[in-house]
Chain A
């Protein structure tokens, strides 16, 4: 009978104005992978921060490896063998891999640091996990996937017996995800307990033993993964069932006019001779592996990155797009992948963010017409069902899904005809995802035309009237709604044949 390495009972935690955790229970056995699920804002992060000593709980008991604990900081939690791999990677990009792994535990030869020793140790640890990374490589030069592998290796090297993985696969390729799962299975056999926070149902089904669901800071229930269904879990998370059926047929009328034409777009290695059309009222999805060049196409089209060549025609007229200003004036809006960095001004309110692309329309020669801004912002908060205490709330205090809605409102208020959504539901829970899908369909009903870039195949199949698949900077395939995952996947792997050397 495996030992219970963690038992949290009756845990509560409040912040000014919000009760983040109310009487929550959670337990974990050695060698178990236990999923922690819930909508954004349900309390998952808060629970983990209480566990790892970043926050102090108000009420409740936590027993770790048989002893009651009350961690006052991360060091204490670390010493007890608990380690968290954050969603937003925490590393020092200017230092090497080995230096990152051994920060705080540097080896010394007399007065001086012994980098050779930590390089050797790093190599051993990475090899044991089957990761091929040079320990002398500068962290900032690695891909996000590799960085995450290093962070996991670092946690293992700290002799952690309890790992918390917060959305670990969000930025990994399929190959890297397989690798991660293999490492997790090895860790299971070694008796390491893992708490797995993710929104990806298929992964939860594959790798976890049990699932615990939180909703609005409260404990809803725990299921054994093998004995539970997708619908059951979703219902626990949102209190209602959601259908995610793939689209069988295109809902765009075949005689719809072409609203956007891109010809021979070239922008470096990631965008090679890309040409395509978008019809009015169509949802066109760009599928492919991470790094296929889809974001780069969108950014080149939008003028965010320079292009070496390419003709763009909006509603039949050729437009010169040298910068986002030109694209926005042509009626194109772009919701970027990384909304915190490129989509919103975190320090500004919901109202101010909503009119960010359209401030001219809401200001006179000297002054801004704040009352009108507040009115239109409120209208869109209602229309999009954005959960925020007020339009004056700072966007940084909203959950991911609601921040995304503020970005969408911005482009709607600008009345862009063509919207490019880049990974619109990344890091967003099932409930909010469904709302965004509904929203996208409402937008095309109103006559907008939408390009969706997505790495989640179920999402692509759910939304697309047509799919363009990219691989390594080129468009490798085009399929209609109703295509299979396998077809799309095979196009996504269709690399350019390298000439024999």
Chain B
């Protein structure tokens, strides 16, 4: 069996987040079933290369999805994650390639850019009380513009494996082991970030207030908590993760094109919803998010292996998302 197919555990969550727990279980089962389906019926699906492809496809979307999970749990949404990821990658890339800064500085700049865009979103939503949909839509367009401006509408190339900073790909994407196999270091990084996100969400004040605000923001405010501050944090986290997604994308595909990123956010949000996080807030899980993202990747890789055209993937993703939301609604009604 495929050793690298890490299946996240769902046993830890107590009745505390039972609603998300149930749906996560369904999502996990669905993922296994869909994988099994393709493994049996698909051409060359059940192989190491395919598994690596699936992880590759989940990779940068995974970072986006983990970050936006926080925002969605507060009952908000972040449409800017895709373009912010690419814009941040662009800024960092330009800083290194065109302005001559050391590469590490470029990477740091990517993360800081993401976080700053997140801060902007947080400010617009928490302080100025804009509806998250509108605020992040605005940021999405702003980041598209900045991406083109900073790069002077030219593509940016990140270090290839053979260049001086070739460790970039080894650390953030894949590294060739002495045995000849490729170790997906990027996936390991994603899992590390996932674990950190899990701990933050469930064991720290940040996470506690994220759930609380999503459950009843007014109650939290009347309890004397500085809601404007704590509601901004999830957006900063989302932006930071978008920065990570930018690094992930750059390490996988090397070239970053100005004005890219639109559409990534929908894949990420679809993954979050499939994984059991409710768009109405108060309930959610990052493990579920990862399962949701992987289900979509499996579909994206698996459908061509059954000789179905790639555009069928969008159709099936849409159907899966609707099923996931219907399940969410019926769970809510049951209470």
Q: Do A and B come from one complex?
A: yes
A92-B220, A93-B282, A94-B283 known; A113+B215 contact, CB < 8 A = no
Alpha-carbon distance between A58 and B283 when the two chains are bound, in angstroms: 41
Alpha-carbon distance between A94 and B280 when the two chains are bound, in angstroms: 12
Give the residues in chain A near B223, CB-CB below 8 Å.
74, 90, 103-104
Are A104 and B18 in touch, CB under 8 angstroms? no
A136 CB-CB contact with B under 8 Å? yes
B203's partner among A92, A99, A112 (CB-CB below 8 A) is A112
A95 CB-CB contact with B under 8 Å? yes
Q: Which parts of A39-85 form the interface with B (CB within 8 Å)?
A: 54, 73-75, 78
B212 CB-CB contact with A under 8 Å? yes
Are B215 and A112 in touch, CB under 8 angstroms? no
- How many Å from the CB of A60 to the closest CB on chain B? 23
Q: Mark A128-151, 1 if CB is under 8 A from B, else 0.
A: 000000001010110000000000
A96 CB-CB contact with B under 8 Å? yes
Are A94 and B205 in touch, CB under 8 angstroms? no
Are A103 and B212 in touch, CB under 8 angstroms? yes
A106 CB-CB contact with B under 8 Å? yes
A95-B212, A112-B204 known; A103+B335 contact, CB < 8 A = no
Give the residues in chain B near A141, CB-CB below 8 Å.
335
A95-B211, A96-B16, A103-B223 known; A90+B218 contact, CB < 8 A = yes
Residue of A nearest to B284 (CB): A94
Are B212 and A99 in touch, CB under 8 angstroms? yes
A75's partner among B18, B203, B205, B224 (CB-CB below 8 A) is B224
Give the residues in chain A near B211, CB-CB below 8 Å.
92, 94-95
B208 CB-CB contact with A under 8 Å? yes
Alpha-carbon distance between A93 and B213 when the two chains are bound, in angstroms: 11
A96-B16, A113-B208 known; A74+B224 contact, CB < 8 A = yes
Give the residues in chain A near B282, CB-CB below 8 Å.
92-94
A91 CB-CB contact with B under 8 Å? yes
Residue of A nearest to B17 (CB): A94
Give the residues in chain A near B203, CB-CB below 8 Å.
112-113
A108 CB-CB contact with B under 8 Å? yes
B3 CB-CB contact with A under 8 Å? no
Pick the most buried of A54, A91, A95, A113: most chain B CB atoms within 10 A of its CB.
A95
Are B16 and A78 in touch, CB under 8 angstroms? no
A366 CB-CB contact with B under 8 Å? no
- How many Å from the CB of B190 to the closest CB on chain A? 22
Residue of B nearest to A112 (CB): B203
Are A91 and B208 in touch, CB under 8 angstroms? no
Residue of A nearest to B214 (CB): A94
A99-B208, A141-B335 known; A94+B222 contact, CB < 8 A = no
Alpha-carbon distance between A224 and B221 when the two chains are bound, in angstroms: 36
A500 CB-CB contact with B under 8 Å? no
Are B205 and A106 in touch, CB under 8 angstroms? yes
Q: Mark A92-132, 1 if CB is under 8 A from B, else 0.
A: 11111001000110101001110000000000000000000
Residue of B nearest to A77 (CB): B224
Give the residues in chain B near A108, CB-CB below 8 Å.
205
Alpha-carbon distance between A136 and B203 when the two chains are bound, in angstroms: 15
Alpha-carbon distance between A74 and B223 when the two chains are bound, in angstroms: 7
B15 CB-CB contact with A under 8 Å? yes
Alpha-carbon distance between A108 and B207 when the two chains are bound, in angstroms: 13
Are B215 and A92 in touch, CB under 8 angstroms? yes
B14 CB-CB contact with A under 8 Å? yes
Are A136 and B222 in touch, CB under 8 angstroms? no
Give the residues in chain B near A106, CB-CB below 8 Å.
205, 208
Are B14 and A136 in touch, CB under 8 angstroms? yes
Q: Mark B180-208, 1 if CB is under 8 A from A, else 0.
A: 00000000000000000001000111011
Give the residues in chain B near A78, CB-CB below 8 Å.
224
B225's partner among A86, A94, A95, A104 (CB-CB below 8 A) is A104
Residue of B nearest to A139 (CB): B215
B219 CB-CB contact with A under 8 Å? yes
Chain B residues close to A by CB (< 8 Å): 14-18, 199, 203-205, 207-208, 211-212, 214-216, 218-225, 282-283, 335
Chain A residues close to B by CB (< 8 Å): 54, 73-75, 78, 86, 90-96, 99, 103-104, 106, 108, 111-113, 136, 138, 140-141
Q: What 6 A-B pairs have minimum CB-CB distances, sorted nearest first? A: A92-B215, A94-B282, A75-B224, A90-B219, A94-B215, A112-B203
| 19 cross-chain CB contacts under 8 A | A74-B222, A74-B223, A74-B224, A90-B223, A92-B215, A94-B214, A94-B215, A94-B283, A95-B208, A95-B211, A96-B16, A99-B208, A103-B225, A104-B224, A112-B199, A113-B204, A113-B205, A138-B15, A140-B335
